[in-house]
Amino acid sequence: AKLLPDARLLARADLDLTDLASIVPTLDELAPTTLINCAAYTAVDAAETDETTAFAVNAQAVEAMATWCAAHDSRFVTFSTDYVFDGTARRPYVESDSTNPINAYGRTKAAGERLALAANPDSLIFYTILTNHLKTRPRRHNYSSPPTATTLSPPGEIRWQA
């Protein structure tokens, strides 16, 4: 609140992203100059059996928000994941690398990236990965060995070390 005193944080009760029809009216009411989408369907295993809901949240809702921002000259920021890549590269991934997700979660996040950029080419997409979590609880990966560190490199380049 101190860093962004005018920011409005929305909970699911304020905006349920599975209710796609509610996104535009909510954004019309709030009229943000910058929209930072921190929401996502992140249940990787559950997405395998509920890809429809994952797609609604990770792709269709992202598209709707990016479209609204483009139409209202607002900045759109969203987050993606390393799951959009298959993990076979022997070098750090960069923005221009083709996605090749190997699971439902990755497919929905990759679709969200494509739809956001098609609707609003000025969209800013950050890639995230949990590294501390890997030490305490195993998780299924879409790459051959889990990364142990992440860094943001020169603009346009995302690196991680296996």
Numbers of helices and strands, H then E, in the chain:
6, 5
Q: Which of 41, 83, 93, 105 is catalytic?
A: 105
Is the backbone of residue 52 left (phi > 0), alpha (psi -120 to 50) or beta?
Answer: alpha
- Number of Cβ within 10 Å of residue 55's Cβ equals 19
Cβ partners under 8 Å of residue 6, min gap 6: none
Cα 99 from chain centre:
13
Is 93 catalytic? The answer is no
Q: Which residues are catalytic?
A: 105
